[in-house]
Structure 1
Amino acid sequence: MIAETVCSAVAAAGLGIAAVTAYRKRFLAAARIAAYSLIPLGLVMTGVVNWLADTAFSVTAWAGFAVLGVSWLLFSTTRAVERRRGGTRKERKEARAAERRAAVAPTAPSASAPSLGPGTRASTRPATAPRGDSTDDFSDIEAILKKHGI
């Protein structure tokens, strides 16, 4: 009974503020204020306020909320542990089996991959030529760093 009275008073006050705002030629703001002030009145008329008041003072309802909280806690904990382990035991076993199959049987080249032909090579350097000195490889990088003052 008290909750319904308070909600009705809030709605009436909000509509009064909306009327004053509309009088000041701020119609968009007045419409928004009126919309917000009608929410408590609608909740009273639908019975939500009565249900909430009965639920707020019910020990059984609070026990039910506690049970729901424990259930949610168990779900989230088991999910976090499962993620940390890397999935379920069955999923890990299947992943290891897939890795073994991939390691044993090399993948065939796909039909969409371009072919270079039998006699061409991707590299211009012969296969038997020795590699250059590693300092030659970094000379370009050193020049760039010196150019920027690093």
Structure 2
Amino acid sequence: MLAETICSAVSAAGLGIAAVTAYRKRFLAATRIAAYSLVPVGLVLTGVVDWLADVVFKPTVWLGFGLLALAWLLFMITRAVERRGGGTRKERRAARAASKEGAVAPGASSPSLTSGTPPLTSGTGASAAPGRGKKPKQESGDDFSDIEAILKKHGL
């Protein structure tokens, strides 16, 4: 009963504001305000307000919402574990079987074509850390020639 009274008061106030707005010659805004103010009374007359009041004040409904939230949380946890752990059990089993046969796993990268050790530069000796020597001048010149060709193509 209290909810119906509150909704009726809100609608009456909204219609009053709409009347004042229409008096100020803002008919479009007044019509929009009147439409919004009729919504609470419409909800009362259709029974939605009673249904919402029953939902809010019943502990069994809140228990149901809690169980739905728990189910959603469990779904999200399993998705996170699947993404982190490499997929579903079937995908892991297929990857394990493929690795036993000597094939490359579906998510693996292609093998490297180099031997894995960079060539030693002249004068550095074997004590130098791999990959820290200076690059020969030819390689850096090739890189810049590509950039120069692009700049010439665009007239710069």
TM-score bracket, normalised by the shorter chain, equals 0.5 to 0.7
1:49 aligns with 2:49: yes
TM-score (structure 2 length as normaliser) = 0.62
Q: Is the 8 A contact 2:95 2:105 kept in 1?
A: no
Give the aligned partner of residue 26 of structure 1. 26
Q: Which 4+ runs in 1 deviate beyond 6 A? A: none
Identity of aligned residues (%): 67
- CA RMSD for the aligned pairs? 2.8
- Which residue identity lines up with residue 136 of structure 1 in the other structure? Q
Structure 2: gaps spanning 5 or more residues: 107-134, 148-156
- CA shift, 1:141, in A, is 3.4
Aligned length: 114
Give the aligned partner of residue 141 of structure 1. 144
- Superposed counterparts of 1:61-80, under 5 Å: 61-80=61-80
Give the aligned partner of residue 128 of structure 1. none
Structure 1: gaps spanning 5 or more residues: 104-132, 145-150
The partner residue of 2:103 within 95, 100, 103 is 100
Q: Is the 8 A contact 2:22 2:30 kept in 1?
A: yes
1:60 aligns with 2:63: no
- Which residue identity lines up with residue 77 of structure 2 in the other structure? T
- Which residue identity lines up with residue 19 of structure 1 in the other structure? A
Q: Of the two structures, which has the highest relative contact order with CA contacts closer than 8 Å and spacing of 6 or more?
A: 1
Q: Structure 2: how far apart are the matches of 1:74 and 1:9?
A: 44
TM-score (structure 1 length as normaliser) = 0.64
Q: Structure 2: how far apart are the matches of 1:11 and 1:22?
A: 16
Q: Structure 2: how far apart are the matches of 1:34 and 1:137?
A: 75
- Assess, with a 3 A threshold, how the Cα gap between structure 1 residues 102 and 2 changes in structure 2: closer, same or farther: closer
